[in-house]
Structure 1
Amino acid sequence: MKRRDIIKGFTLLPLTSGAIAGTLNSALGSDETRAAQPQKLTNKSIYEPLGVRPLLNGGGTVTVVGASRVLPEVQKAMDGAVKEYVHLFELMDGVGRRLAELTGAESGCITPGASAAITAATAACITGGDPDKMWMLPDTRGMKDEVIIPAYSRTAYDAAARATGAKMVQVSTVEELRAAVGPKTAMVLVLGGALSRTGPLSVSVIAGVTKPMGIPIVVDAAAEGLEVPNPHLSQGADLVAYSGGKKLRGPQCSGLLIGRKDLIPAARINTGPHHGFGRGYKVGREEIMGLMAAVEMWFKRDMEAEAKQSAALVQNMASRLKNIPGLILTANAASLRISWDMEKIPLTGSDAERLLYDGNPRIVVSLSGSYLPFPPNLQPSISVNASQLEPGEDRIIADRIFTLMSNPPKLDKPSGNPSADLTGQWDLQIMFTASTVSHTFVIEQQGNKLVGTHYGSIGSRGLEGSIYGDDVLIRSSYSAGGARINYTFTGKIIAGELIGKLSLSEYGHAEWKATRHVYPPLLVR
């Protein structure tokens, strides 16, 4: 997905398990070894012996960079849980009762993440808790296997429902909802947010259609906190899924599912340690007790004080940066948006993100960059989320941004006339790590600019890019049906072919080659 090639920034260490152990012992057990290493974020990071650099998280509760900081009470609960054994079925029963008391829902269970909660909820709605049907998944023949989803709810997380074998049925209006409901409908999946509460296809509107038919509504509220009374259940939802590692500040690989007392057990048995379809969705006693501690603390935390601290960190950063010529600062709750005049600061947002990420200490900002599964940020702006920062880290980040924006580096920009006209159809081969597949480019060249269509395995998507001399850059993005596929092709024209590297965003890297399509000669009689 990303526009820049940072492959060289990641190093694979050719170490055997014994060598890794030796390296860990050396690095963690010797003050001399630590002192001899270059100063990074910390001299005692557990990650550095593996060649992995820690980072400052100015991106918020993003899973790929670690989500939230767990609460001290959560860590204490996890430490205590691993010291004793317990029967997980009994533990889950107790958890369900306590979650009911805390949240006001009829019951609840803990899963290995919000996505797993959605998978378990979908499996519950399809199978109804019938082991025969559970063991058939993802073969849903003979079952209710259609999941209706409002268009505004389509996201990459639809995959959690589709993992069961369910078929997604998208609707945009109440009329389309009524037409879609039928004997194959297993449930309705709704993404939490403003539209789910007050939009034309809100949960309450959907419930007016589906409740008389006994069709459950599942809400994906992964990034939300636990409100009591629960707004989604109050509107007519039957199950609600939350992330344990975001606002709750529990274990990152934990999730919460609350709702109807008949559907919760049906969801639970579609997760581990039960066998069958959901065996891989198991959660350990330490994560269970860690998330329970986080839920308990949710009702004890001083949210106002936490918000004030984040706002203060934002203001500290704004004060440090406010006098830089060409910079525009916008403070919003726990985040600071930084925009600039590219005539004075000739960097894109992606440039700034990369420079901060590649620096020392490593800093994550915004919601793009090679470290995140989002398209490149070509606008002159970045944002810093202060919700996961400790006091003092705001100063480090502000100082780095101040240095960067006060004296931006002169980055090499492509230039020169195109060495060829790429207009036409190209046969594209992509060499992934374990397969080679054929795609197609159809390109129209307008000076240095490239536009057109990229035809892939899942479908077609638009492309855009550039050509300067022999250097070619092509980007494409596919997002239909909630998919999130972003490709960035970089390469050169060599002997009439296009050859280069491909960034797959969160899915790694590949190599590619494209040759101009040769049309068969016309047969003339």
Structure 2
Amino acid sequence: MDRREMLKNLAILPVGGSLMSMSPLMASPDKNVAKGPLALDEDIYKSIGVVPIINCRGTFTIIGGSIERPEVHAAMAAASKNFVQYDELAFAIGERLSEITKAEFGIVTAGCAAAMKHGTAACVTGGNPEKLLRIPDLSGLDKTEVIIPRHSRNVYDHAVRNIGITVVEVDSMEELEKAINPKTAMIYLLANRSSSTGQPMSVEAIAKVAKKQSIPIMVDAAAENLSIPVVHFERGADMVAYSGGKAMCGPQCAGLLLGRKDLMLSAWQASSPHHGPGRDNKVGKEEMLGMLAAVEAWTTRDHEKEWDRWMEWLNLIAEKATKIKGVTHEITLPDGLNNRAPGLIVSWDPTQLNITGEEVAELFGRSEPRIAIGSGGKDGLTSINVTPSQMQDGEAKVVAKRLHDTLSKKRSTPDTSMAAAASDISGRWNVEMTFFSSKSTHHMMLEQDGNWLNGTHQSDFAEQDLYGTIEGDTIKIRSHFKKPGDSVVYMFTGKLKNGQISGEVFMGEYLTAQFTAKKWESKQRKQKISVPGGPPLAT
């Protein structure tokens, strides 16, 4: 999709929202859902006004991750009936995890991010409690730096940064070798294509250098299938962090850290219930045993049968959708351990069916039966995509019917004309941002070409390009703040009235803000300027 096409899509977004409801208080697409006492049955969510979702996206935390396995429920229920000393429990679980996974030891954490945080703390402190209690102020400590290849920078490395370390970013093996010094605590790697076997900065290549300097390597394998023995240890890693609530279908709020026993004991020391920087990452006895049950179950699950069921669901959806003239499909297969599930892409010409994949995904997400699906497009076609790993029995028929009904519906060609701009808003604008509990001043420099807007957005800590539209008095602007490990998308929707623009800002996972923009008017100063003929004679 080229830039102009993106602008068109921005222009036709509804004023009230895009990929999510613009109001954070609108938790449900149905305003009429009854709210009352909590119902402890299948209507538990609807009883408080929240409409559940058929999950065709996979293990995204923001929609619930995964459905916990029956063994996990049973373990958590059993664990809730007694008290236990947590260190004794952790050490027993660690030994059992070692038996199952062939790792030296393991601990259960409050999610994969907590596993990364505790693993980093272990490398910084070495199990010394006085060093632990200094975090995040690492002044005076000998290990204060973590090396991260650029290909592994991501929004989750906040868990590493939370310890207070200094990130040293490298982009080649030569840079990595130069970066290693006595302050290096650890090397962090994301399990992705760039760190895979055969790549210039693979785990193996980095391990050859790190081992010589006794630098631990931690691999973030959050969304991967658990391999036994763990493939990353065979490649040279010292610690591997997993999400409990993704492929393993354990407790959504649990994670798993496997690795060298000395590092695991230091990581457990940094974890709750022990006081210090990890006390806020509490994991309960129920989650600890639920996670162990998920690992146990992983070794006995019929993975081939699960795969066959997923394929059956995808084929059912594809078969019904492709009965519509012009609709095609493709089954995609994973080539690694990450998000290891087949996928379905259903494609069509948007000029023939008069609807785009993005519009279908938005419709499905905002009305019932509520379905979370992905969207995309290429080569002039638009598409939706389905990931079946967290779908439940009976849902494929619901998805297939709704997709068929939606795509087969007769629609007139959408009117893509744009109302003339009510005004020329070129120039500099001061933007007052009203967040949930604070205010901030941003600035925009706008250039207008008919309905199209371009320019720059100066947010709190950076300047980024913006683009958008003005139709009548309705203005929509998009900018994207990003730096290694961080990203915020700003989507402004507002009305021009009496020389100012007011409206709402959609910020993706960071929800919404309000804004009011006023044009900056420079003061007219008519005064000649006298330039000295030489250096100053006084200062």
Structure 1 pair 465–326 and aligned structure 2 pair: CA distance change class (3 A): farther
The CA deviation string for residues 375-432 of structure 1, in whole angstroms up to 9 with x for no partner, is xxx9832211111112320010111111111116677867211122232222111100
Q: State the partner residue of 2:362.
A: 354
- SS at the partner of 1:100? helix
What secondary structure does 2:372 align onto? strand
1:524 aligned residue: 528
What pairs up with 1:313-352 in 2 under 5 angstroms? 313-333=313-333, 334-352=342-360
Q: Deviations over 1:231-256 (max 9, x none)?
A: 11111111000001111110000000
Take 2:423 and 2:167, find their aligned partners in 1: how far apart are those partners?
44
Say whether residues 1:284 and 2:284 are aligned partners.
yes
The within-5 A match list for 1:120-269 is 120-143=118-141, 144-198=143-197, 199-269=199-269
Deviates more, 1:446-455 or 1:463-472: 446-455
Residue aligning to 1:507: 510
Taking the aligned partners of 1:518 and 1:178, their CA distance within structure 2 comes to 53
Whichever residue aligns with residue 354 of structure 1, its letter is: E
- Alpha-carbon distance change, 414 to 463 in structure 1, aligned in 2, over 3 angstroms: farther
- Retained in 2: the 8 A contact 1:125–1:216? yes
Could you state the TM-score of these two structures normalised by the residue count of structure 1?
A: 0.89
Any conservation in 2 of the 1:471–1:492 contact (CA below 8 Å)?
A: yes
Which of the residues 71, 74, 78 maps onto 1:80? 78
Equivalent runs, 1:468-507 vs 2, <5 Å: 468-507=471-510
Give deviations 1:138-190, integer Å, cap 9, x for gaps. 11112222111111111110111111112212111111111221222111110
1:348-497 equivalence runs, <5 A: 348-366=356-374, 380-407=382-409, 415-497=418-500
Letter in 2 for 1:69: I
Q: Indicate the residue corresponding to 1:373 in structure 2.
A: none
Question: Post-superposition shift, 1:114?
Answer: 0.5
Change over 3 Å in CA distance of 1:4–1:517 after alignment to 2: farther
**Aligned mates of 1:148, 1:367 — CA distance in 2:** 35
Distance 2:462 2:442 in 1: 10
Distance in 2 separating the partners of 1:12 and 1:122: 36
Q: 1:489 to 1:320 in 2, by over 3 A?
A: same
After superposition, what is the alpha-carbon deviation per residue over 1:42-83, rounded to whole angstroms, capped at 9, x for unaligned? x94101121111111111111111111111111111111101
Is this contact kept in 1: 2:27–2:50, CA < 8 A? no
CA distance 1:54–1:379, change in 2 (3 Å): farther
Q: Structure 1 residues 330, 508: closer, same or farther in 2, change over 3 A?
A: same
Computing the radius of gyration over CA atoms, which structure comes out larger, 1 or 2?
2
Give the drift of 1:219.
0.4
Instruction: Say if 1:277 and 1:367 are closer, same or farther in 2 by CA, change over 3 A.
Output: farther
Change (3 A) 1:345 1:479: farther
Q: Distance between the aligned counterparts of 2:20 and 2:61, measured in 1?
A: 22
Q: Does the 8 Å CA contact 1:414/1:468 hold for their aligned counterparts? A: no
Larger helix share, 1 or 2? 1
Q: Amino acid of the residue matched to residue 366 of structure 2? A: D
Counterpart of 2:59? 61
**Would you say the 8 A contact 1:345–1:408 is kept in 2?**
yes
Say if 2:23 and 2:512, in contact at 8 Å, map to a contact too.
no
Q: Deviations over 1:426-458 (max 9, x none)?
A: 211110010110111122222222222222123
Contact 1:442 1:452 in 2 (8 A): yes
Cα drift, residue 3 of structure 1: 3.5
Q: Which residue of 2 aligns with 1:50?
A: 48
Q: 1:190 to 1:339 in 2, by over 3 A?
A: same
The partner residue of 1:119 within 117, 122, 125 is 117
Q: How far, CA to CA, are the matches of 2:134 and 2:430 in structure 1?
A: 40
Query: Hey, what's the Cα distance between the residues in 2 that align with 1:336 and 1:227?
Result: 25
- State the Cα distance separating 1:520 from its structure 2 match: 4.3
1:9, CA displacement in angstroms?
Answer: 8.8
Report the Cα distance in structure 2 between the residues aligned to 1:430 and 1:439, rounded to whole angstroms: 7
Go from structure 1 to structure 2 and tell me whether the alpha carbon gap of 1:48 and 1:125 turns closer, same or farther (over 3 Å shift): same
> For the residues of structure 1 that align with 2:504 and 2:102, how far apart are their CA atoms?
53
Range moving further from structure 2, 97-106 or 176-185:
176-185
Task: With the length of structure 2 as denominator, give the TM-score of the two structures.
Answer: 0.87
Write the distance in 2 (CA, Å) between the matches of 1:9 and 1:190.
34
Query: Residues 343 and 147 (structure 1 numbering): CA distance in 2 closer, same or farther, change over 3 Å?
Result: same
Does structure 1 retain, via aligned residues, the 8 Å contact 2:492–2:506? yes
Equivalent residues of 2:189, 2:219 under 8 A apart: yes
- Conserved? CA contact 1:190–1:196, under 8 Å: yes
Which letter does structure 2 place at the counterpart of 1:164? I
Whether the aligned pair in 2 keeps the contact of 1:3 and 1:475 (CA below 8 Å) is: no
Which stretches in structure 2 are left out of the alignment for 5+ residues? 1-9, 11-16, 29-34, 334-341, 530-539
Match of 1:99, SS? helix
CA contact (8 A) 2:357 2:375 kept: no
Contact 2:353–2:411 at 8 Å: present in 1 too?
Answer: no
SS in 2 for 1:438: strand
State the 1:505 CA deviation.
Answer: 1.2
Cα distance in 1 for residues equivalent to 2:281 and 2:83 = 20
SS in 2 for 1:343: helix
Q: Secondary structure at the match of 1:133?
A: helix
Contact kept in structure 2, 1:147 and 1:188, CA below 8 Å:
yes
Aligned to 1:375: none
1:108 aligns with 2:106: yes
Q: Residue 322 of structure 1: CA displacement? A: 0.5
How many pairs are equivalent? 494
Cα distance in 2 between the residues matched to 1:279 and 1:414: 57
How has the CA–CA distance of structure 1 residues 9 and 155 changed in structure 2, closer, same or farther, with 3 Å as cutoff?
Answer: closer
Amino acid in structure 1 at the alignment position of 2:272:
G
Higher mean C-alpha displacement, 404-413 vs 514-523? 404-413
Structure 1 residue aligned with 2:537:
none
DSSP-derived class of the 1:464 partner: strand
- Over 3 Å counting, the alpha-carbon distance change for 1:297 and 1:88 in structure 2 is same
Instruction: Give the root-mean-square deviation of aligned CA atoms.
Output: 2.3
* Corresponding position: 1:305 with 2:305: yes
Say if 2:146 and 2:165, in contact at 8 Å, map to a contact too. Answer: yes
Give 1:6 shift: 2.2
| 1:24 lines up with 2:37 in the alignment | yes
Q: Matched residues, percent identical?
A: 40
Paired with 1:254 and 1:437, the residues of 2 have a C-alpha distance of 36
